[in-house]
Amino acid sequence: MEKKIALVTGANSGMGMASARMLARKGYFVLMLVRSEKRGNEAFNMLNEEQPGCFQLILCDLSDLQSVRRAAASIGETYEKIDVMLNNAGVITTQRELTKEGLEMQFGVNHVGHFLLTMLLLQKLQKGSRIIQVASGAHKWGDIYFEDLSLEKSFRPFKAYGQSKLANVLFAKELSKKLTPYGIAVNSCHPGAVATNMGVNRETGFGRGITKLLKPFFRSPEDGAATAVYLATDPSVEGITGEYFYNGKSAKVSTKARNEELSRKLFQWTEDFTGVFFKDIEEKLK
């Protein structure tokens, strides 16, 4: 395939759909990774009508690591390379929920699912490829609760979200160090407060009224996606890695997000949990 290839998780709505549209307009062929086949098909049909032949829909439930493995295997068999990985998908839950593997849902989807997907596809990236992790300013109140990662003893929605978003920043920073010798950039970003369906219970509709009420004060999905797409495509950030961006500029992170021992510990824990280790992949990158 002559076009550059971009992968976007959570591409059926909100910032993910906006990112897919914007990347296609910049000439990329976009792999739209989605959890729901129904909502994915609706988004795919809409985008494909706007820009025919620029998208492929791939089912990938980040809360189910077997689903992640199937999606990665399918992508690996079909495509020789990936130029951009935009890890955009995210969840917020108002009650404690668990992934298929028993992890707290926000940590499991926002961090572990993306970790596994990224690691399984690393050998498809090459010099000049870019990985962008959509994090959040919420990382600043986050901590990594290794003694209770699934927050069984003490769950609060914002505590869980903060942990998952700090994990996003730490993962991006640690992976950037490992991939620097190979010329692959890894950065994270804060999209700002964006009016999306995150936090809305799809079964009950709980949260939709609040989101609608606050929508005039939020950024549009396109505005929220702008920094991620900038990091994915702009020549001015070529060679920049291990940074955290907000509004198209490098921004400060919390003290915990700068803690190298914490980033290494989290990376090692996630390797052990998923059974996928960078040292094994590195042989294929050389």
pLDDT tens for 270-284 read 999 999 999 999 988
Bridge partners (DSSP) of residue 31 are 7, 56
For residue 194, what are the CA distances in angstroms to 21, 86, 214, 215, 225?
Answer: 17, 17, 10, 8, 9
| pLDDT tens figures, 53-101 | 999 999 999 999 999 999 999 999 999 999 999 999 999 999 999 999 9
Instruction: Work out whether strand 244-246 and strand 185-190 pair parallel, antiparallel, or are unpaired.
Output: parallel
Nearest CA-CA partner of 104 in 55, 191, 48, 164 = 164
2 pLDDT band, cuts 50/70/90, is confident
Structure tokens belonging to residue 95: 């009650």
**199 — pLDDT class (breaks 50, 70, 90):** very low
244-246, strands of its sheet edge to edge: 55-59, 29-34, 5-9, 84-87, 130-134, 185-190, 244-246, 249-250
**pLDDT level of residue 209 (50, 70, 90 thresholds):** very low
pLDDT at res. 88 = 98
211-269: pLDDT as tens digits:
454 445 467 899 999 999 999 999 999 999 999 999 999 999 999 999 999 999 999 99
Backbone φ and ψ of 174, nearest 5°: -70, -40
Calculate what percentage of the chain has a pLDDT beyond 90.
Answer: 87
Pick the CATH number of 5-280 from 3.40.50.1820, 3.40.50.300, 3.40.47.10, 3.40.50.720: 3.40.50.720
161 is known as an active-site residue: yes
- Of the residues 28, 145, 161, 182, only one is catalytic, namely 161
Arithmetic mean of pLDDT over the chain: 92
- The pTM of this model reads 0.92
Residue 204 — very low, low, confident or very high, per pLDDT cuts 50/70/90? very low
Question: What mean pLDDT comes out for the span 136-145?
Answer: 97
Is 60 exceeded by the pLDDT of residue 41? yes
